Amino acid sequence: MSMLKNLLQGNVAIHQEMINKFLKKLIEESNTLDKLSVTIAEGVLNLTAEILAGLGTPINVRVALSIGSFTFNRHERFVEFQVNGPVLISLQGIEIRARLGINLTPDPAERSGALSGLVHALQYLEIKEDKITVNFNRIPGFNNLLQKKLGFLLNYLEITKLELIEEMLIIHPSMKF
């Protein structure tokens, strides 16, 4: 399936299957993140992750998100998602509903005991209690993927609107020369 599955009225529709393929490739080498998937319903993006803790114990995390603010131009590429309700964390049959906030210490020496795969995956995320911001410029391989699909147009691509409809992310692009 092509990343640009549909072109609807000049807008780009990306199917959740393509997003999940990208996420699978993104965590391929991670020894901490085992599964990461997205389902899209009307206005809501449901994110499910399986994190492997010590001794291979899986921790399942589910969160529902809606699109908040975003900037996508030649210099900045980020999307801020609003968290809809508590984050559901499941560990060996125990379900915990929580607010989620993650702070990474800037000094790598202070994170010496941390799971390196998880720390690496969190480098492009800013997670606060009510929002998750994804910085696409920090995601390994994202610019290469766009460059392959869009070529030189990437330098001039801006996004004016994002929509979540059934199983698809609709992008309203604009070209600024």
According to the model, what pLDDT value does residue 111 have? 43
Token pair, residue 47, equals 């994110």
In tens digits, what is the pLDDT along the chain, a chain of 177 residues?
444 444 445 788 889 999 999 888 877 777 777 888 999 998 999 999 998 876 678 899 999 999 999 998 877 888 999 999 899 999 888 999 988 777 665 555 444 444 555 556 667 778 887 888 888 887 766 666 666 666 555 667 788 899 999 999 998 888 776
According to the model, what pLDDT value does residue 167 have? 93
Q: How far is CA 63 from CA 39, 59, 91, 137, 143, in A?
A: 11, 13, 15, 23, 26
Q: How far is CA 30 from CA 19, 119, 138, 148, 168, in A?
A: 18, 10, 16, 24, 26
- Residue 48's nearest CA partner among 59, 36, 40 is 36
According to the model, what pLDDT value does residue 158 have? 82
According to the model, what pLDDT value does residue 1 have? 40
According to the model, what pLDDT value does residue 125 have? 77
Could you give the 3-state DSSP secondary structure of residue 29?
Answer: coil
**Whole-prediction pTM value?**
0.73
Give strand ranges (E) for the chain. Answer: 6-8, 11-15, 33-41, 44-52, 58-72, 77-83, 87-91, 94-98, 125-128, 131-135, 157-165, 168-175
